[in-house]
Chains A and B, each alone.
Chain A
Amino acid sequence: MTVVGAYGNGVRGDAEVTVSDAPSFRFELVSDVEPMYGSRIRGQIERAAAMFGNPPVELLVRDGGALPFVLQARLVAGFSAHLSVEVPPLGARAHSFKLKRLRTRLYVPGNTPKLFPNAALYRPDAIILDLEDSVAVDQKFAARVLVTHALNTLAWGDTLRFVRINGIEDARALIGQGVDAFLIPKVESPEAIQEIAALLGPTETRIIPILESALGIERAFEIASSSPRILGMAIGLEDYVRDIGAQRTATGEESAWAQGRVVNAARAAGVQPLASVFSKVDDEEGMYQYALQSRLRGFAGVACIHPRQIAPSHRAFAPSPQEREQARAIVEAFEKEGGGVLSVQDQMVDAPVYERARRALEEAVD
């Protein structure tokens, strides 16, 4: 017997598919949306079974209002896992990578489909569909199939689509589905990056290593410069702090060196240094302060674990009105003079200062 997905206990927008052996194909459907969509769901189940040659199995589908792509992913995962056959490939999704700032990247648990359709509405710079820590071990395969279908089906607007993989199999399965970047957890060597990079072939997909161990931090620059596909490099503080035998404090002094190391290595390699998460979801002011600290340390962005962390983070990464005013004065003065070295509001301004001010003005436009 194979079970994928979830139903009941307050689960919404998902379906549970139970597959067991039977003399011939048959199915039973229990659906919370039977009166509105029952006939369409039956048709979808029959078509999915036909895709697998109507195998001799019995399906119990308990549907709590799964969207069609979710139901499809559950059916496909159920059949594939039970019959031990390959997941039928989905058509490739045309997509081109467009570089942007990564002020916020929103983690979305990869096996919780109700969170998918609206994730892009919260306007993070990127969404991370997570196949690693947020997915239970026995649901890893189902989550991979679900994420594949989600990437293939949903509209993501101009939000970048990232996937945090749990293993190289995840990356292999998702090639061609328009992934902007794979996040690779617990990276400790350039080889771990190169192995994934070799898979990616002609795609534009980028890579973001996550350093979460003492060894990873030691090799930060090597890792950051291991492939032209590296888009940014992130630090994962929970695991790192545990690995060095320290404890997380409010001020974060135990990881100050590691954070500095990641910023420096990433900047040296010309990629975006990315800060870790702030776990107190209800504390918006705390999130703002955390994001502001991260920005002042040199990070390009933070990770978010709830959509309500996005707005305070964007606020923290936007120049303050005073900073904006000063930047405007510098840019105006420098451009008027046509370069050189000059003084604006008692500050010496040269080309690098001008460049920083110009970038700050660009960043002020959300």
Chain B
Amino acid sequence: MSTAAPAATASTLGMIGAQSRAMVIAYWRVPAFAIFSLVLPIMFFTFFGLPHAREKLANGTSVGAYLLGSFGAYAVSSVMVFNFGIGQATARAQKIDLLQRATPLPPFVTIVANVINALSFALVSLLVLFAFVFVAGGVRLSAATWVTLTVRLLFGALPMIGLGMAIGYSSGVNAAPALANLIYLPMSFASGLFIPLNQMPDFVQRIGPFLPTYHYGQLAWNTVGGADESVTRAVLWLAGWTLVLFAVALRAYRLEATRKFA
């Protein structure tokens, strides 16, 4: 067609590195984001957990360790739904996506960088929670358990990344926080993250075991004690929810792309 020699492109890894770095810097400069995801889990642990942290559950697990699992799951998934989802909606509202679309940056790099950013944020919020629970709650776990809990919570959050993306691509900057709260808060309650599920109303106890956050919580409790299902079962459920929520996110992304760039 033309004599154009194939133009070289920048390295994808380099782009992912630069994009992730920029996103991490940009997020940490917004105090609201940081406070939300660092302070809330500690606050909840203080309210719900501290008074009983040194008591034991019927199965011998310490209440402090059990609630560490609960609020660890809460902390990571709220980073995914709120920081990631609302961050995405904000970027769209500021038309950051429009300029990026005109550059050689492939759209998937932005998504990968977003995930890396969210995971690093989630890791920091976990470490802050761990430190607090260790010092104030007197919770002692083996080194292997701390590490396993961290790894399971970060990788198990995959479906929540899908949920965050679905919210971020489908709703405006004003609707996104409301939608995120409306979906995520009842879901966390109905999964037993705040109060054990057996203390919830009967119908909630029946719905709970279908929710992604329920199985995410089970993954955490399987590590610290107090789980109702096996790790394998929890992982299978989470894998299923990952497929469903990523499909929803992809559809929202495509609809948005068609509207803007067709």
A binds B: no
Task: Spell out B's residues near A (CB within 8 Å).
Answer: none
Q: Interface on A for B, CB 8 Å cutoff?
A: none
